[in-house]
Structure 1
Amino acid sequence: MFTESFTPHFSDTDALGHINNTKVPIWFEGARTPVFRLFTPTLDTANWPLILAKIDVSFEAQMYYGETMEVRTAISRIGGSSFDVYQELWQNGQRVASGTAVMVHFDFKQQKSAVIPENIRQLLTEHLVESSPDAS
């Protein structure tokens, strides 16, 4: 599992003083960088082998400005050419959001999905969770 902590900016809030719901997918995408590095260590977009097929986000509690956030990222499924990245957002010891991104290993020259190489599959497996990470 990968973890990343940060403090939300004032500009991340909405008119009600909570964290704006549009920020969570952006934070989740940023926290997927260690997963991207498994495929492209230099993050060279000229050799990028991934596309995003689907995301879903569940909001579980209110989030606030000025309080540290932690994103937890794990792999929850590995298929032939696709895999699921499961993520949780925590604040003050409480899970406040969770979501899954379906990523596809993609050959841009052939414009089709490609089998995940065995060496990368092994790296993904190191971060595989049987179900959503423990809510503790």
Structure 2
Amino acid sequence: MADRIEVLPLEAFPTQVTENIRYGDTDRQGHVNNAVYATYFESGRVDLLHDSLPLLEASGCQFVIARLIVDYVREMHWPGTPVIGTGVLALGRSSATLRQAVFQDGICTAIAENVIVLMDMKTRRARELPEMIRSDFERLKLVAAS
């Protein structure tokens, strides 16, 4: 088994979004079902990408997910308002690696690492990250933990 993803404090994430846990998000064990976390991570990614999405769509490109790895750290229960932190970990030619975490009451409940790839919507092939996106992503890199 691969090593666990490093847990970072909420303050290390340059973007943060709050969600509400719905009663229907829980399973028979009374905790939030593991599949729901993918939706929380999606909310965090959309929040991080929000400013660049109109420009990308105008150029005929969109980000797609190539990889998502999740480590579940502890249970999360209803009711609650988890905070999803998202930041850029690394940049590739046509991709970005993001680190994300879900926190409930200040405690990390899950962490994820995912790779998003910029795709040309006509050719369905990866396209190199434009300089505008690179500079945005540099600004959204994770803050080093002290």
- TM category (shorter chain) comes to 0.7 to 0.9
Q: 2:132 is matched with which residue: 116, 119, 126?
A: 119
Structure number with greater CO (CA < 8 Å, separation at least 6) is 2
Structure 2: 5+ residue stretches without partners: 1-13
CA distance in 2: counterparts of 1:56 and 1:97, whole angstroms: 10
Report what 1:52 is aligned to: 65
Q: Could you state the TM-score of these two structures normalised by the residue count of structure 2? A: 0.81
Give the SS at the match of 1:110. Answer: coil
CA distance in 2: counterparts of 1:46 and 1:112, whole angstroms: 14
Judging changes above 3 Å, is the alpha-carbon distance between structure 1 residues 128 and 94 closer, same or farther for their aligned structure 2 residues? same
Identity across the alignment (%): 25
2:15 is equivalent to residue 2 of structure 1: yes
CA distance in 1: counterparts of 2:118 and 2:91, whole angstroms: 11
CA-based RMSD of the aligned residues comes to: 2.3
How far residue 118 of structure 1 moved from its aligned partner, in angstroms, is 0.5
Following superposition of structure 1 onto structure 2, how do residues 56-135 of structure 1 map, counting pairs within 5 Å? 56-129=69-142, 134=145
Instruction: Report if aligned partners of 1:40, 1:47 keep a CA contact under 8 Å in 2.
Output: no
Q: 1:24 is matched with which residue: 37, 49, 53?
A: 37
Q: How many residues align?
A: 133
Instruction: Report if aligned partners of 1:13, 1:19 keep a CA contact under 8 Å in 2.
Output: yes
